[in-house]
Amino acid sequence: MNRLSVDGVDGVDGVDRVSGVDGVAGVDRIAGSNRVASCVRWVLAVATLAVFGAVTPRVQSEDSDAAKIDFFRKKVEPVLKEHCFECHSRKADEVKGDLLLDSQAALAKGGANGPAVVPGDVDASFLIRAIRYTEDDYKMPPRGKLDDDVIRDLEKWIKDGAKNNLPKESP
């Protein structure tokens, strides 16, 4: 009991000191320097826009290519590996539908029915029609439809040009 009340007083003391004169003075100083800082920041922002305006398009397209490959590696490749390679890669016991999905050349060539992936054209891509389960004889993967958000990821990948870092030729 005794120990508890001493602790309590100490705590209140501490709070008083922190929220006292020091704290308020500090806030004033910060508010003052904030005005100057935001002025400087504004000038810098305008200068930055002016300087980088000319080179931004190039930087952006390099950036987004890297981002698209990154998207492929994180969101698309794992799906192909887990749900398609078993039947559509060199590792398959028997390649199905004459379709490989494990290289850039294979994606471009497609299967018995032609290109599976048409970069930029989601609806023309047989791969998308197959995973949407809208093609009667080609519902892929055959054992169960992929989740909707996974299908959306693959659609986005193709819409954005189907960029990938697969080997040029199937291994």
Q: Which residues bind ligand HEC (CB under 6 A)?
A: 83-84, 86-88, 96-97, 99, 110-113, 116, 126-127, 130-131, 137-138, 140-142
Smallest separation, CB 159 to ligand HEC (Å): 16
- Length of the chain, in residues: 171
Smallest separation, CB 136 to ligand HEC (Å): 10
The full 3-state SS of 71-111, as one line of letters, equals HHHHHHHHHHHHHCHHHHCCCCCCCCCCCCCCCHHHHHHCE
Smallest separation, CB 147 to ligand HEC (Å): 11
Question: CB neighbours of 81 closer than 8 A, spacing ≥ 6?
Answer: none
The answer to whether the CB of 138 falls within 8 A of the CB of 129 is: yes
Using CA atoms in the order 100, 105, 111, 115, what is the torsion angle rounded to 10 degrees? 130
Q: Which is nearer to ligand HEC, 3 or 143 (CB)?
A: 143
Smallest separation, CB 135 to ligand HEC (Å): 8
Smallest separation, CB 103 to ligand HEC (Å): 14
The first and second tokens of residue 90, run together, are 């060199």
Residue 12 DSSP label: H
Q: Which is nearer to ligand HEC, 15 or 105 (CB)?
A: 105
Q: Which is nearer to ligand HEC, 16 or 136 (CB)?
A: 136
Q: Which is nearer to ligand HEC, 68 or 88 (CB)?
A: 88
CB atoms within 10 A of CB 130: 22
The first and second tokens of residue 28, run together, are 């004033």
The first and second tokens of residue 104, run together, are 């850039």
Q: Which is nearer to ligand HEC, 118 or 130 (CB)?
A: 130
